[in-house]
Amino acid sequence: MPRQNRWRRPISQRPPWPAVVIAAVGIAFFALAFMGLLWKVPWASAWHVLSAAGSRKALRLSLVCSVWATVLAMFFGVPIAWLLARLDFPGRGIARALCTLSMVLPPVVAGIALFYALGRRGILGQYLDRWFGITLPFTTAGVVVAQTFVAMPFLILTVEAAFRQQDLQYEDAARTLGASRWYLFRRVTLPAIRPGLIAGGVLAWARALGEFGATITFAGNFPGRTQTMPLAIYLAAETNPEEALVLSLVLVAVSFGVLVALRDRYLQSRSTPAL
Amino acid sequence: MSLDARVVCSRGSLEVDVALAAEPGEVIAILGPNGAGKSTILRCLAGLLPLEDGHVQLDNVDLDRPTADVFVRPEHRSIGFVFQNYLLFPSMTALENVAFGLRARGMSARQARSQAAAWIERVGLTDHAAHLPSALSGGQAQRIALARAMATEPRLLLLDEPLAALDAGTRSEVRRELQHHLRTFHGVRILVTHDPLDAYALADRVVVLQAGKVVQQGTLTDVTARPKSRYVADLVGVNLVKGTASFGVLTTPSGATVQTSDDVNGAAFALIQPRSIALYRSPPDGSPRNVWATTVTDIDPRSHRVRLDGPIPLIAEVTVAALDALALQAGDQLWASVKASEITIYPA
Amino acid sequence: MAVKLLTSRVVPAVTALALVAACASTTSYTSATTTAAPATTMTAPTSKGQITVFAASSLTAAFTDLGAAFTKAHPEVRVTFSFDASSALVTQITQGAPADMFASADTANMDKLTAASLTASTPVVFATNALSIIVPAGNPKGIKAPGDLANTTLKVVLCDPTVPCGKYAKQSLDAAKVAVTPVSLEQNVKGVVTKVTTGEADAGIAYVTDVKAAGDKASGVDIPAAVNVVAKYPIASIKSSTHHDIDAAFIAFVTSQEGQAILAVSGFGKP
C-alpha cells in the first residue's frame, strides 16, 4: 500500500492522543513494579537460592498443580459454560453466580469454605474420610482442588462469552451433513471458540499459579507436597527477604514467558468469518 | 426417490401450510417473494425445524410426522443442504469442508479426503482444495458448498437461494454449472429462489409460494403464461386483474369491468399484456370494448413503460416515438384501451 | 446456608488464620535483656495518646485483657494491638511500620531489633511460656507423650521452623529424640491450634497458653520439663515511638502484680 503523504493522512488513522497518554501511564505502572524487583535482586546470591532444593521443589509443585488445576477447570468449566450459554433453565442466573462466586471472594474465604466442605470433619469430607479414607487437606491433591476452585470462574466466564458469540448456523450446516452432537462439538464448536478457550485457560492457569490464600488455608504448608511458590515466597519474605526476592523474580519470569509466548495469533481465530 | 410432504409450521407471524410432492428425477423450484416461507419449508424438510402438523416422507419412510410422534433428527436424514450464505466451516480448508459429511458419517479420514478430492475436481476447483473459505470467491465458495452437500450422496438435495449471494455476472456462469451438476444428481432436488431465471434454467416444476401458501404450481411456462399471483405477474411483467367472471366479463371487487372474448365463469384472472394497451389523450371512439379513464403516475423512459392509476391499475408499454409524440407527464389524464380479444382470462 | 456457615465461622477463623506467627528461634540468648521484678505501683502517664503494640500471636488473649485493664486505669490512653508471628513483626518494624512497642515470643527476634538500634529501652522479660502437645477435645487418639507423635498414622501439625514456636518445637523434639513427620508447617501458632481444634489434625505442638485459650475445644498433653523449652517473652519500646512515657507506663503495668495476674490467667509463667 503506498505510503500516504503525512499531511493528508486521515485523522481516523492516528490513535487519539488522550488514549495513548493514559495507556502509557498504565503500562508504566506495571513496568515500574517489576523493574523494582529487578533492581533490588541480589544477583550474587541468586544462584545459591535457586539451586536450593526447596526452591526447585516449590517451583515444580507450582507448575504441576497449576497445570492440573487448569485441566480440571477446562474439564468442568466448558460444559458449565455451554449450559449457561445455550440452555435457558430456571435458576440460570443463580447457577452462574455460584460458579463465579469464588472469583469475587477473598481467596482465604474460599479456603475456609473448602475446609468446611471437604475437610476431615466437613460436610462431604467426613464421608470421604470415613468411607474411602480420602483426605484432601495436607495433600497435593488438596492444592489442586483449592486452585481449581478459584481459577475455574475465569475460564467459565470467558468460554461462556465465546459460546454466545458463536454463529449457530454452522451447527445447522454440520447437522445436515450428518454430524452427531458430539462430532459437531468436536469439529465445529470447539474450533470456533478456540480463542476464548485459550484465553480462558491462560487466565485460569495464571490465577492458579498465583493462588495463596485458599491453598494455605485448605492444603496447609509442607515443602514438596503443598508448599507452592507463593507460599514459599511468603514464608521467605519474613525471615529472608533476599530469598523472597529471588523466588518472586523466578515466578514473574516464568509467568511472563508463558504470557509472551501466547502471541496475538493464538488469541485470534484461525480464519476471518466467511462471506 | 420420491418426496411426499405436507409442511405445516409457523415462524413468527407466518403460518406455512404447503403440500409438496416430488416424483423421481424431478427438480422443483419454490418461487416466491421474501418472507413467503420458502426457507422455512426447506428447514422443515431438513429437520432443522420440527413440523407442527403434516408429514415429511422420503422414499416412503417417515422423517417427520407429529401425529405419530415420529421425528428423525437432521443428522440421521439422508439430506444435503446448500445454504444461502454457504456456511463453509471457516477454520477448515475446502477439502476438509467437502470431506466433513463423509467423516461425520464414519468414513476414515483418508478415504473421505480422497472422495472429497474427486468431488472438488468435479466442480473444477482442485487448485483451491487447500484454501480456506475466506480465500475463495463467491462463485468458488458456492461450488464447494455444493460439492460438500453432494459428497454424502444424499437422497434429498435442498438448495436455499443458491445463486442469490453472487453478482450478476458470476450468477449466469454458475447457473450453467449448477444446471449441469443437478442433472447428474440422482435424488430429489428442491431449490428455493426468487429469481425466475433460476427456476427456468434448473427446475422442471415450479411451486409459487405466497404468505405461506401455495398459490400456483406447474411448469414455469404454464405458470408464467397464466400467473395466478401478483408476484408472478410482476415477475413476468404483465398486468393481472382478479375478479369474478360471468360469460367472459370480469368484475373486480371495486366494480370495474374487463371485457374478454372467452366464456369463463366464476373466480378468474384476466391477464393484460402491457404492449396491448393503447393510450389516448381523448376518449377513443372505436371497436375496443375496454376503455378506462386513467391518470399517469409514473413514466419509466428506459423500459418505455407507463404506470397508470384508474379503475384498474395498469402498466402500459409504448414505443419511444409514441412517448415523444404524446409528451407524457405524471398527472396527465389519458384514456387506456385494450381489445377484448387480446386479454387472456382463466379460472383462478 | 453457606452464608450462615461463613458468618459463624469466618470471624474467629479469619482472625486466627490472619495471624502469621513466625517463631524463629535461635540459640539460647545472651543477657541482652533483663528480668524485671514485679512492681506494685504504676506510674501515671503524663500525656494523652494512642500506642500501638506489636505482640506475638501467642499473647493475643492475654494482651487484649491487659490492654483493657490498662485503659481502664488510664482512660486518656488508647492501646491498639497488632498480633502476628514475632519474626513477621520484626520484619515489619525494620521496614518502618508504626509500632510503639514490641512484645516478642523469643529473645532472638528482640535481639534483631536491638542489634539494629531500633529499641528505645532495654528489653524486659515479662513472662515465660512452655510448649504443650495440643490435641482435639477428648484426646481421641489417646496421645500421652511426645514419643507418640512419631506414629506415622497420625496427622501432626507443627509451626514452620522459621517462626519461634516451630524452632522451639524442633528443639523440644530433638531433646526428646523423637522424629516427627508433620503434615503441615503452619506460619503461626494459631494455625496449629485451628487445625487441631477443627479436627483436621490429630495433634500439634503449641504453647501451654494456647491450650488454655482453646478452652473446651482442645485438650493438652504435657511435655515433660526435661525436654520442654522455656520461652522467654521480652518487651521493649521502639525508638521511633512518640509516647515514651506511655510506653514506660505500659511496660510497668505488664510487669506489675495486676499485669502478671492477667498473664497467669492465660497460663503464662513468671519471668
CB < 8 Å to C2, chain A = 113
* Residue A51 pLDDT exceeds 70: yes
CB < 8 Å to A237, chain C = 91
The rounded percent of chain A whose pLDDT value lies above 70 is 91
Q: Return the bridge partners of B249, or none.
A: B246, B259
Q: What is the mean pLDDT of chain A?
A: 86
- Cell 501467642 locates to C58
Q: For residues C46 and B254, which has the higher predicted lDDT (pLDDT)?
A: B254
Q: Which residue of B has its CA nearest to A270?
A: B91
Q: Which residue of C has its CA nearest to A214?
A: C17
Q: Write down the pLDDT at residue B173.
A: 86
Q: For residues B281 and A5, which has the higher predicted lDDT (pLDDT)?
A: B281
Judge whether C165 and C189 are in contact, CB under 8 Å: yes
Rounded to whole angstroms, what are the CA distances from A68 to A61, A79, A142, A248? Answer: 11, 18, 12, 22
CB < 8 Å to C198, chain A = 115, 119, 121
The verdict on B48 touching A (C-beta cutoff 8 Å) is: yes
Chains near B with 3+ CB pairs less than 8 A apart are A
Q: Which residue of B has its CA nearest to A186?
A: B104
- What is the Cα–Cα distance from C169 to C156, expressed in whole angstroms? 12
Q: Write down the pLDDT at residue A49.
A: 76
**Contact between A177 and B101 using a beta-carbon 8 Å cutoff:** yes
- What is the Cα–Cα distance from A139 to A121, expressed in whole angstroms? 16
Judge whether A170 and A128 are in contact, CB under 8 Å: no
C250 to chain A, minimum CA–CA distance in Å? Answer: 27
Q: Which of C258, C246, C267, C86 is nearest to C165 (CA)?
A: C86
Taking each helix axis from N to C end, the angle separating A53-86 and A194-209, rounded to the nearest 10 degrees, works out to 140
**Contact between A221 and C200 using a beta-carbon 8 Å cutoff:** no
Amino acid, single-letter form, for residue A215:
T
pLDDT tens digits along B104-155: 998 999 999 999 999 999 988 999 999 999 999 988 999 999 999 999 999 9
Q: Write down the pLDDT at residue C19.
A: 42
- Cell 503523504 locates to A5
- For range B23-30, the mean pLDDT: 87
Taking each helix axis from N to C end, the angle separating A53-86 and A43-51, rounded to the nearest 10 degrees, works out to 80
Judge whether C180 and C173 are in contact, CB under 8 Å: yes
> What nine digits make up the cell of B1?
426417490
Q: Write down the pLDDT at residue A267.
A: 60
Judge whether B110 and B190 are in contact, CB under 8 Å: no
Q: Write down the pLDDT at residue C87.
A: 87
CB < 8 Å to B47, chain A = 175
Q: Write down the pLDDT at residue A61.
A: 93
Interface present between B and A (3 or more CB pairs within 8 Å): yes
The Cβ of residue C60 has, within 10 Å, a number of other Cβ atoms equal to 23
- For range C15-26, the mean pLDDT: 42
Best residue in A238, A240, A242, A243 for a mutation probing chain C (most C CBs within 10 Å): A238
Q: Which residue of A has its CA nearest to B137?
A: A275
The verdict on B133 touching A (C-beta cutoff 8 Å) is: yes
* Residue B334 pLDDT exceeds 60: yes
* Residue B89 pLDDT exceeds 90: yes
From the list C5, C85, C183, the residue facing A138 with the nearest CB is C183
Q: Which residue of A has its CA nearest to B166?
A: A275
From the list C17, C91, C199, the residue facing A121 with the nearest CB is C199
* Enclosing H/E stretch for A65: helix A53-86
* Residue A122 pLDDT exceeds 90: no
pLDDT tens digits along A101-115: 888 889 989 988 998
Q: Write down the pLDDT at residue C17.
A: 46
> What nine digits make up the cell of B308?
397508470
* Enclosing H/E stretch for B234: helix B230-236
* Residue C33 pLDDT exceeds 50: no
Q: For residues B105 and B320, which has the higher predicted lDDT (pLDDT)?
A: B105
- Cell 412517448 locates to B323
From the list A120, A222, A234, the residue facing C200 with the nearest CB is A120
* Residue C23 pLDDT exceeds 70: no
List, in order, residues 6 or more apart from B314 with CB less than 8 Å away.
Answer: B239, B272, B274, B277, B292, B294, B307, B308, B336
* Residue C29 pLDDT exceeds 50: no
- pLDDT band for C27, please (50, 70, 90 cuts): very low
Q: Write down the pLDDT at residue B158.
A: 94
DSSP state of C46: S
**Contact between C200 and A113 using a beta-carbon 8 Å cutoff:** no
Q: Which residue of B has its CA nearest to A188?
A: B89
- What is the Cα–Cα distance from B328 to A114, expressed in whole angstroms? 88
- pLDDT band for A164, please (50, 70, 90 cuts): very high
Q: Write down the pLDDT at residue B223.
A: 87
- pLDDT band for B100, please (50, 70, 90 cuts): very high
- What is the Cα–Cα distance from B136 to C170, expressed in whole angstroms? 74
- pLDDT band for A238, please (50, 70, 90 cuts): confident
Q: Write down the pLDDT at residue C47.
A: 65
- pLDDT band for C22, please (50, 70, 90 cuts): very low
The verdict on B100 touching A (C-beta cutoff 8 Å) is: yes
Q: Return the bridge partners of B300, or none.
A: B305
- For range C78-83, the mean pLDDT: 92
Query: HSE on the CB side for C105, CA within 13 Å?
Result: 38
- What is the Cα–Cα distance from B3 to B155, expressed in whole angstroms? 10
Q: Predicted ipTM?
A: 0.81
**Contact between B89 and A180 using a beta-carbon 8 Å cutoff:** no
- What is the Cα–Cα distance from B242 to B289, expressed in whole angstroms? 18
A189 to chain B, minimum CA–CA distance in Å? Answer: 10
The verdict on B60 touching A (C-beta cutoff 8 Å) is: no
Comparing A174-183, A188-197, A259-268, B27-36, the range with the smallest average pLDDT is A259-268
- What is the Cα–Cα distance from C133 to C251, expressed in whole angstroms? 30
